[in-house]
């Protein structure tokens, strides 16, 4: 059986609560469920697009179909009897165009309308079909198993990686004592305690001692890294003077700079207030930057270490409108900016991100393990700070890091 129907004018315009009929009909058309709305008499008020399609009802000006007699083929009195007996909804089986539908009939007392939801029996069965349910269940189980396997593999890899780091760290640790002994003997010999040295012997010993020191630095760099890797990074936050902290590092490095003939200049702003930070860790980060600057700056070059108060506008402010930003702009600097700039060869822009990753080295002509910047980054991030580089090839490099002053 097929019929034709259009959505006739709404029976009671008040019930549309100020919405136009077109709007209500349009809204119902967006609903995936087939819906038919009718008056108590069976006169159809609305029928959405899904219902028209499922029931094969054309949308044209023929409002003659009665819900009860024309569509549901049921006695309306039977429906209302059940509703009056307190039934919230009445379910029916409806045959139409060779297909079977399940109709869910509900009554809306306020406008006295009947609302019918229609579902193809075939679709309902498919959802209830145990075979389909098993397939879904199986798929979910399979996904769960894959997820568990992946997690297990990931944890295993992590453990293997941890064991590798622990092994390398203990090997590195074993190197520390003999290196300290060798360096001690170099110092003794160079001080003349073991007899007078010729100039040639002194030169050779100086060079050997330098190599030994480089090895000590590499070993301690790796030990620092493995300590960070095994989750041993605990900040010792105390109220400290950053100028003292950086001044000590600059002094410690001044001899190495002099030896290479590179000028080191420190400008540490006296207005930096004391704030909470980990003294040793900040020294370590600054030392790694100075180490790099010295390594990459040729003799006759210059390196500057600068520190000063800084206003750090955090990312949340970027999305706020300008007026808001001005309103919340802090009156005082909230961080300290520390920068190490050199007059070395610079770093091409494509390496600016990756050089902060573990074991990444760009310049193969210098010694190192590609860990100095990775360690510095971890230490600074542990302080909730950030680090970046600005550099032009042949224009020197400037590494800057920010430390927030509100460490809790």
Q: Which residues bind ligand ADP (CB under 6 A)?
A: 292-293, 296, 342, 344, 347, 355, 360-363, 368-374, 397
Q: How far is the CB of 215 from ligand ADP (least distance, A)?
A: 13
Helix segments in 329-384, DSSP class H: 372-382
Nearer to ligand ADP, 368 or 404 (CB): 368
Our CB check for ligand ADP shows the closer of 148 and 263 to be: 263
The neighbour count for residue 80, using CB atoms within 10 Å, is 15
Side-chain-side CA neighbours of 288 within 13 Å: the count stands at: 29
354: CB partners within 8 A, 6+ apart: 360, 362
* Residue 110, phi then psi, degrees to nearest 5: -60, -55
What letter would DSSP give residue 9?
P
CB closer to ligand ADP, 96 vs 296: 296
Q: Which is nearer to ligand ADP, 122 or 353 (CB)?
A: 353
Q: What residues pair up with 4 in beta bridges, in sequence order?
A: 58
- Read off the tokens for 274: 């004391």
Which of 256, 267, 254, 219 has the alpha carbon at shortest distance from 368?
Answer: 219
C-beta of 97 vs 395, nearer to ligand ADP: 395
Closest residue to ligand ADP, based on beta-carbon distance: 368
Please, which residues have CB within 8 angstroms of residue 61's CB and are 6 or more apart in sequence? 6
Closest approach of ligand ADP to the CB of residue 304, in Å: 12
Q: How far is the CB of 336 from ligand ADP (least distance, A)?
A: 21
In this structure, what is the dihedral angle of CA atoms 119, 121, 126, 127, given to the nearest 10 degrees? 50
CB of 355 to ligand ADP, least distance (A): 4
Q: Which residue carries 């007026």 as its tokens?
A: 323
Q: Cβ of residue 194: shortest distance to ligand ADP, in angstroms?
A: 34
HEC secondary structure over 260-315: HCCEEEEEECCCCCCEEECHHHHHHHHHHHHHHHHHHCCCCCEEEEEEEEECCCCC
Residue with tokens 């315009």: 13
- CB nearer to ligand ADP: pick between 335 and 391: 391
For residues 138 and 210, which CB has a smaller minimum distance to ligand ADP in the complex? 210
Nearest approach, Cβ of residue 172 and ligand ADP (Å) = 14
Which CB atom, from 276 or from 386, has the smaller least distance to ligand ADP? 386
- Residue 284 tokens read as 């370590």
Q: Are 339 and 399 in contact (CB under 8 A)?
A: yes
CB of 141 to ligand ADP, least distance (A): 46
CB 307 → ligand ADP: shortest distance, Å? 17
């Amino acid at each position: 059986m097929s019929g034709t129907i259009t959505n006739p004018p709404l029976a009671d315009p008040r019930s549309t609560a100020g919405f136009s009929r077109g709007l209500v009909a349009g809204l119902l058309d967006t609903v995936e469920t087939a819906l038919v709305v009718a008056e108590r008499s069976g006169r159809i008020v609305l029928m959405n697009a899904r219902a028209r399609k499922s029931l094969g009802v054309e949308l044209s000006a023929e409002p003659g179909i009665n819900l009860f007699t024309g569509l549901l083929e049921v006695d309306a009195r039977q429906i209302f009897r059940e509703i009056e007996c307190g039934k919230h909804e009445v379910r029916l089986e409806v045959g139409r165009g060779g297909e079977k539908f399940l109709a869910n009939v509900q009554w809306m007392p306020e406008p006295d309308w009947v609302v019918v939801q229609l579902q193809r029996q075939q679709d309902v069965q498919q959802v209830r079909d145990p075979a389909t349910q098993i397939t879904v269940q199986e798929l979910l189980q399979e996904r769960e198993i894959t997820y568990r396997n992946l997690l297990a593999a990931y944890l295993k890899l992590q453990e293997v990686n941890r064991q590798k780091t622990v092994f390398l760290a203990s090997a590195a640790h074993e190197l520390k004592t003999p290196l300290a002994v060798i360096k001690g003997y170099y110092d003794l010999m160079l001080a003349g305690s073991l007899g007078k040295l010729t100039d040639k012997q002194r030169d050779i010993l100086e060079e050997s001692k330098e190599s030994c020191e480089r090895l000590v630095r590499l070993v301690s760099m790796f030990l620092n890294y493995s300590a960070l890797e095994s989750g041993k990074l605990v900040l010792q936050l105390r109220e400290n003077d950053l100028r003292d902290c950086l001044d000590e590092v600059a002094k410690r490095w001044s001899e190495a700079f002099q030896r290479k003939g590179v000028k080191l200049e420190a400008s540490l702003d006296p207005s930096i207030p004391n704030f909470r930070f980990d003294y040793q860790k900040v020294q370590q980060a600054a030392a790694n930057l100075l180490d790099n600057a010295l390594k990459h700056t040729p003799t006759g070059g210059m390196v500057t270490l600068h520190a000063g108060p800084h206003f750090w506008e955090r990312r949340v402010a970027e999305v706020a409108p300008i007026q808001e930003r001005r309103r919340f702009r802090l009156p005082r600097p909230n961080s300290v900016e520390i920068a190490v700039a050199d007059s070395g060869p610079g770093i091409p822009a494509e390496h600016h991100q990756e050089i902060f990753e573990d074991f990444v080295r760009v310049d193969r002509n210098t010694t190192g393990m590609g860990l100095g910047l990775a360690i510095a980054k971890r230490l600074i991030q542990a302080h909730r700070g950030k680090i970046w580089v600005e550099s032009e090839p042949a224009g020197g490099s400037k590494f800057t890091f920010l430390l927030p002053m509100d460490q809790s």
